[in-house]
Structure 1
Amino acid sequence: MPIPIHLQFIDLSYKIKYVPRQKKSGTMSQILRMDCSVVGVQEERTIIEGITGMVSPGEVLAILGPSGSGKSTLLNIISGRLQSRHGGAVLANGKRLTRAEIKRIGFVAQDDVLYPHLTVRETLVFAALLRLPRTMGKEEKVMAAEKVMVELGLEKCSETIVGNAYVRGVSGGERRRVSIGKEVLVDPSVMVLDEPTSGLDATAAQRVVKGLGREAKEKGRGVVMAVHQPASQAYQMFDLVMVMSAEGKCVYFGKGFEAMEYFEKLGFVPGFQLNPADFMLDLANGIAHGDNHGDPSSVKQTLVTSYNKTLAPKVKECINATLTRDAVQTETISSNNNKKEEEMQNKKKKKDYCNISWLSQFTILFHRSLKERRHESFSSLRIFQVLATAILAGLMWWHSNINNIQDRLGLLFFITIFLGVFASFNSVFTFPQDRPIFIKERSSGMYSLSSYFMARMVGDLPMELLLPTVFVLVVYWMAGLRPEFGAFMLTLALLLGYVLVAQGLGLALGAIIMDAKQASTMATVTMLAFLLTGGFYVQNLPAGMVWLKYASFTFYCFRLLIGVQYKQSEITRLGLGQGQGRKNDSSDIVGEVEEVGVIASVVALVVMFVGYRILAYVALRRIKI
């Protein structure tokens, strides 16, 4: 059973600052003067104001209001995700929210943040393994996930992938229940849900609300949910109802069955039989039924004024009475648990707190990464891309002659181009795509950043290296490169290391920018600069740009490839060394292999391999959760 939490929120407000867009009219000089006059001028917009309410164990509080009324902002504040950035206070058992209480509040966002290629069972089992305490064995955690599936009616679709807008999977209602199930697993004291019935039909929505209500009553769990337009049957399951106007102000808070009577006393009566939720949403928008009550602004003003005079004082009195009556009973349990958790946190001396050891986190996340990413890494389109390019290149350079320097060097540089671009562009989307799930799971304390990062790095190795290995196997022997097995293995090892360095560049850019389109654009520009300075197209760079080639991993990889394919004796025999007779323009390229030694090139690639990943890790640490 969850630890009982009486949640109170008093006089909550939230404002944002923004620079308004000015309507431009008049002559050009007037527009320019107007633009200069408003530079840096900010205005303040109120999202919510004066919101007070409470929810006790076993109660379901529904927050109604039109789009843009601040429901999602209110839920974020209540769940502790906007701490120190709002006015008013959120209390748990009479005290301000601490990290321990926030951990006991389950939060389900409006959008389903799930891995699309995992099945329903895999999603819940991985969540159970990560979130349930280490005192439970693996079998117990798996059984807990199975129990949640039964409670939420997900047994029939347990082996179906979750899916998303682009991947066919379970239905919208089932996907919503999976999101709820991930939070129910940890038996939270309070569940906060943002639009849990959004996009569902009436039957599916009623099933979700009914399940939440049953869980609240049986487990003594408080439930707070924002609902846009619930059906009448769903409305009857709400113990408490809060109605918010479009301006973010409260117009009603109280028992669900008393709402209609309250509005009738104010003279707002529907002219025909109407769903109470629909009627109150109309009022929140300023639309009054029956007699003419004036324009929408006057209707909303009447409702807000009445609430502030009559209901708000009663709500605050009720909150004070609850604090006095119940704080002593629940304080002992909560404070003891808080002290234990704080002591453990002080002993660990770390910011992140998780239920299982670092090694367990790494193992579970590594396993999950392999299962999720195998579909993307080994998609039929990606396999076709690699094989088609390898076969085409093999045919173009079919059994090339070692004495044909121009063609042979062109092949080596093409290989570096393809593998560098392939690896960097595949990895640049990794963290931007993972960001919603990463933030959601990190904010829930599921794992530490280091365990997630290392699991992704290690888990990506087989995914990122298998297809490049196939590419090298095909191209190397079709093109007739140096046939010695040692030369082949050196070439393969060098190119796989090069792939990992290019992957690191993509990871770093993706983590720093965290926008897929912008990061891919930066990857394009960076790779283009590295390729141009790689040593094949231009040998004599301008003095101000020479440094760029030493920052290019393509520069080092290309020179190492030349060193593997051309021995010193062959360079001398072919007359391609520096200061010797030159047979063609390629002699400059081969001759410059001695410009940077083998050890220096290897060290440079190792430094870049490590450095890019450190940049990515530091960038991830800056993400606010």
Structure 2
Amino acid sequence: MTTPKSARGARASEELCDLSFRHVGYRLRRGGANGGAIDILQDCTGSIRSTALTAILGSSGAGKTTLLKLLACHISGGEQSGTVYANGQPIVEAEFKNQLAVVWQSDVLLATATVKEAIVTSALLKLPQKMPRAEKMQRVEEILTELDLQHCKHTRIGLDIDGAVSGISGGERRRVSVGIGLVTDARVLFLDEPTTGLDSESAEALIGLLSGLAAAKRRTIVCTIHQPSSDICNMFDDLLLMSCGRILYCGAWMAADTYFADAGFKRPEYRSTAEHMLHLCKDKDYAVPALASAYTLAVSQAAKRFRSCTLTPKASGLRGKTPKRMSDMEAPGTPGTAAADVLALDDGDLRGLHRRAASLSLTATATTPHSARPLPPALARPSVPEQRQAGGPTVATSRFYQVRVLSSRFLRSWGRSPVHLVVQAAQYVIAALLLGAMYWRLGSDTSSGTYDRAASIWFAALCVIFQSGNNACTIFYSQKPLLRREITNGLYHYSAFYIAKGLTSLPFQLIYSIIFNTTVYFLVGYQITVAKFFTYFLLMSLMMLISETLGMLCAGLCRTELVGAIVLQGLYVPLLIFTGFFQTRTPEYLVWIKRISYVAYGYSGLIKNEFTDLRLTAPGGFEVEAQTLIPPNIENNLSIGRDAWVLLGILVGMRVVTFFQMLISIKLRWL
């Protein structure tokens, strides 16, 4: 580190954070008439050492990811029990999340961004806004070096799906995800199945990298994993074995064979340690209950032993610290000991407890941790003036700054996706040309000119509504995973995303509107006056923007793209039917649909704009005012200006409703 501030950051990163959890459980209620509940986690007690790489091992359905989510405060719903501690103190969720980085099994990254840009965006949004940009860039370069990403930092991330966008390898993508998490110099790093989808070489390289980070950077790193190779197993320091939502072992990886042998489950020579443990996890009738009971007994025995003796700093080797009481976890007046301090006990002191069954880490969890070193300052209180998202980590930057960063990213992403822009523009061009060919140069007689004008306007509105709404729905579904992940990790507020998305999409929507409406207007041959053209353009653009908002609303309400598309098409039907184009009168009990249909207001305004000041030739050769031929079911007794104001009001209202709907979805973790 070359600068004083960087030096301070280095010293801060050396703050240790030992984690422990006691009697943790998680239960989900079953739906339906039968009711009942499912215990996902059952009375889990354990500890995780700092400066060590810990593996949570178990077969599918063992509860590994659920435990990881619960420790990371990323779980909602269900019934939670137990307590999680950081350095012996119950965690405060918002503060703890600020010093925690989580890398989930699926890498959710922006395909069009380069490796460096992805980490830079995280640095700009996660690090304090007052920190000089040069320091943030220095931090990014350090991460790129630590994770061996310098060689590909200017390469786009790309997509793995069918090679849609070529980019970096799977192992490099996983390291980018790790790098994004490490931007804030997180003390604790959780990774869910980090080796899934990687070849053996990439998996070993990644685990080796994590092992080095845990030791060199003094971090607490935890990985869930299943079916690891022997080479990968040897890189882990500690192990937490799970099956059926219960912990079977928590201790040093190298002591696992001895533990299971003493418990009556000796490893055959032809099996590796990991294979043996996973084989035991499959025996749910005998081995799992026996090992779970043995583990619980060892925890209980260790707790009784430490309660029965009075420890002093000198006698117990507790590094000069005196144990304190924990009335909420221990009986009143019962002395305990700390997780980090018990780790310092000599192995010989533990041989009486089930022949190393407890091991060093196990014994630490048996006694409630509470007298270890103080929490790092960042865990105890926010380090900078921050804004807090309810139920989530604090956000280190202002909304205006977030809008700037996200707007820049949106524009850069659009600029690097010319195919998407061209395809959307082509949709409008093709539709406009087809309409122009179908209604080329409308006649001036009342027999065809009246109906063809009304029909061409209706179909033009139909094209705008369907294409803008469907495109918005599809695009937002592609953005939802990244939005959900970044909101959860506290990169920005949803309001910043919503504003940035609206600001950056507006120019493109206006460009599409110009392309489509200009082509249609002059090919069909509507009245050629400046005022009428811009009125037509305004009304069509407002309907386009409302349809875009409706598409986003459906994408936010429905969790899957298929359901969202079905709901959107279902909403289009009544909105289009009750425009007055298909029927001469609207039943009284359905008038309310017409009154809330933005398409009805837009269509009425467009018809009045075209038919006003237009004279058509009747069969007898005399001219009539086209305005007198407007069907009464289309006329809404409003002026064109009022139709425009109504559309503008609906647009603003829809934007507000969509914003709060998605905000609620995020808080309920429905998005």
For residues 252-401 of structure 1, what are the structure 2 equivalents within 5 Å? 252-286=249-283, 297-310=285-298, 313-314=301-302, 320-322=337-339, 330-331=373-374, 333-334=376-377, 338-340=380-382, 353-373=394-414, 375=417, 378-401=420-443
Separation in 2 of the partners of 1:220 and 1:102? 18
Displacement of 1:220 in angstroms is 1.0
Which deviates more from structure 2 when the two are superposed, residues 228-237 or residues 75-84? 75-84
Displacement of 1:54 in angstroms is 1.4
Question: Is 1:622 aligned with 2:664?
Answer: yes
Question: Is 1:160 aligned with 2:203?
Answer: no
Separation in 1 of the partners of 2:516 and 2:107? 37
For residues 2-401 of structure 1, what are the structure 2 equivalents within 5 Å? 2=13, 3-19=15-31, 40-82=33-75, 85-98=79-92, 99-158=94-153, 159-166=155-162, 167-168=164-165, 169-245=167-243, 247-286=244-283, 297-310=285-298, 313-314=301-302, 320-322=337-339, 330-331=373-374, 333-334=376-377, 338-340=380-382, 353-373=394-414, 375=417, 378-401=420-443
Gap change, CA 1:576 and 1:232, over 3 Å in 2: same
Gap change, CA 1:56 and 1:272, over 3 Å in 2: closer
Structure 2 letter corresponding to 1:524: Q
Displacement of 1:610 in angstroms is 0.8
Is the Cα–Cα contact under 8 Å of residues 442 and 453 in structure 2 kept in the other structure? yes
Which deviates more from structure 2 when the two are superposed, residues 300-309 or residues 615-624? 300-309
The equivalent position to 2:509 in structure 1, one of 445, 460, 464, is 464
Q: Give CA deviations for 1:88-131 in whole Å, capped at 9, x if unaligned.
A: 11011222221111221111111112222322222222111111
Separation in 1 of the partners of 2:465 and 2:585? 23
Is the Cα–Cα contact under 8 Å of residues 109 and 194 in structure 1 kept in the other structure? yes
Displacement of 1:389 in angstroms is 1.7
Structure 2 letter corresponding to 1:178: V
Separation in 1 of the partners of 2:191 and 2:392? 26
**Partner of residue 540, structure 2:** 495
Separation in 2 of the partners of 1:161 and 1:83? 31
Separation in 2 of the partners of 1:340 and 1:543? 60
Three-state SS of the structure 2 residue aligned to 1:434 is: helix
Displacement of 1:67 in angstroms is 0.2
Question: Is 1:529 aligned with 2:579?
Answer: no
Displacement of 1:308 in angstroms is 2.0
Displacement of 1:590 in angstroms is 7.9
Structure 2 letter corresponding to 1:360: Y
Three-state SS of the structure 1 residue aligned to 2:144 is: helix
Which deviates more from structure 2 when the two are superposed, residues 253-262 or residues 79-88? 79-88
Q: Give CA deviations for 1:527-562 in whole Å, capped at 9, x if unaligned.
A: 111111112112311111112112111111112222
Is the Cα–Cα contact under 8 Å of residues 97 and 393 in structure 2 kept in the other structure? no
Displacement of 1:311 in angstroms is 5.4
Separation in 2 of the partners of 1:313 and 1:142? 52
Is the Cα–Cα contact under 8 Å of residues 41 and 246 in structure 2 kept in the other structure? yes
Three-state SS of the structure 1 residue aligned to 2:265 is: coil
Which deviates more from structure 2 when the two are superposed, residues 568-577 or residues 398-407? 568-577
Compare the two structures and name the one with the higher helix fraction.
1
Separation in 1 of the partners of 2:650 and 2:560? 23
Displacement of 1:514 in angstroms is 3.6
Separation in 1 of the partners of 2:455 and 2:578? 15
Which deviates more from structure 2 when the two are superposed, residues 199-208 or residues 459-468? 459-468
Unpaired runs of 5+ in structure 2? 1-9, 307-317, 319-335, 343-368, 618-622
Structure 1 letter corresponding to 2:461: T
Structure 2 letter corresponding to 1:458: L
Gap change, CA 1:284 and 1:408, over 3 Å in 2: same
Displacement of 1:209 in angstroms is 0.8
Q: Give CA deviations for 1:336-389 in whole Å, capped at 9, x if unaligned.
A: 76345598669x999873111211101111112223345388354433322222
Question: Is 1:574 aligned with 2:624?
Answer: yes
Q: Give CA deviations for 1:178-203 in whole Å, capped at 9, x if unaligned.
A: 11111011110100111011111111
Is the Cα–Cα contact under 8 Å of residues 473 and 551 in structure 2 kept in the other structure? yes
Structure 2 letter corresponding to 1:321: A
Is the Cα–Cα contact under 8 Å of residues 431 and 514 in structure 1 kept in the other structure? no
Displacement of 1:222 in angstroms is 0.3
The equivalent position to 1:595 in structure 2, one of 617, 637, 641, is 637
Separation in 2 of the partners of 1:240 and 1:481? 76
Displacement of 1:313 in angstroms is 4.6
Gap change, CA 1:313 and 1:446, over 3 Å in 2: farther
Displacement of 1:164 in angstroms is 3.6
Structure 2 letter corresponding to 1:177: R
Gap change, CA 1:423 and 1:67, over 3 Å in 2: same
TM-score (structure 2 length as normaliser): 0.81
Gap change, CA 1:314 and 1:430, over 3 Å in 2: farther
Gap change, CA 1:411 and 1:120, over 3 Å in 2: same
Gap change, CA 1:64 and 1:130, over 3 Å in 2: same
Separation in 2 of the partners of 1:562 and 1:407? 11
Separation in 2 of the partners of 1:133 and 1:68? 39
Which deviates more from structure 2 when the two are superposed, residues 482-491 or residues 99-108? 482-491
Three-state SS of the structure 1 residue aligned to 2:395 is: coil
Three-state SS of the structure 2 residue aligned to 1:622 is: helix
Which deviates more from structure 2 when the two are superposed, residues 354-363 or residues 562-571? 562-571
Is the Cα–Cα contact under 8 Å of residues 95 and 382 in structure 2 kept in the other structure? no
Displacement of 1:50 in angstroms is 2.1
Displacement of 1:207 in angstroms is 0.9
Is the Cα–Cα contact under 8 Å of residues 250 and 307 in structure 1 kept in the other structure? yes
Separation in 1 of the partners of 2:557 and 2:108? 22
Unpaired runs of 5+ in structure 1? 20-38, 287-295, 579-586
Is the Cα–Cα contact under 8 Å of residues 93 and 331 in structure 1 kept in the other structure? yes
Q: Give CA deviations for 1:435-490 in whole Å, capped at 9, x if unaligned.
A: 33223212222111211111111122123332232122222222222222333233
Is the Cα–Cα contact under 8 Å of residues 481 and 565 in structure 1 kept in the other structure? yes
Separation in 2 of the partners of 1:522 and 1:333? 49
Displacement of 1:512 in angstroms is 2.7
TM-score (structure 1 length as normaliser): 0.87
The equivalent position to 1:510 in structure 2, one of 546, 550, 555, is 555
Gap change, CA 1:8 and 1:521, over 3 Å in 2: same
Displacement of 1:605 in angstroms is 0.5
Three-state SS of the structure 2 residue aligned to 1:251 is: strand
Is the Cα–Cα contact under 8 Å of residues 157 and 170 in structure 1 kept in the other structure? yes
Q: Give CA deviations for 1:296-318 in whole Å, capped at 9, x if unaligned.
A: 51122222222222356548969
Is the Cα–Cα contact under 8 Å of residues 472 and 551 in structure 2 kept in the other structure? yes
Structure 2 letter corresponding to 1:497: L
For residues 394-543 of structure 1, what are the structure 2 equivalents within 5 Å? 394-403=436-445, 404-543=449-588
For residues 598-613 of structure 1, what are the structure 2 equivalents within 5 Å? 598-613=640-655
Three-state SS of the structure 2 residue aligned to 1:574 is: strand
Displacement of 1:9 in angstroms is 0.9
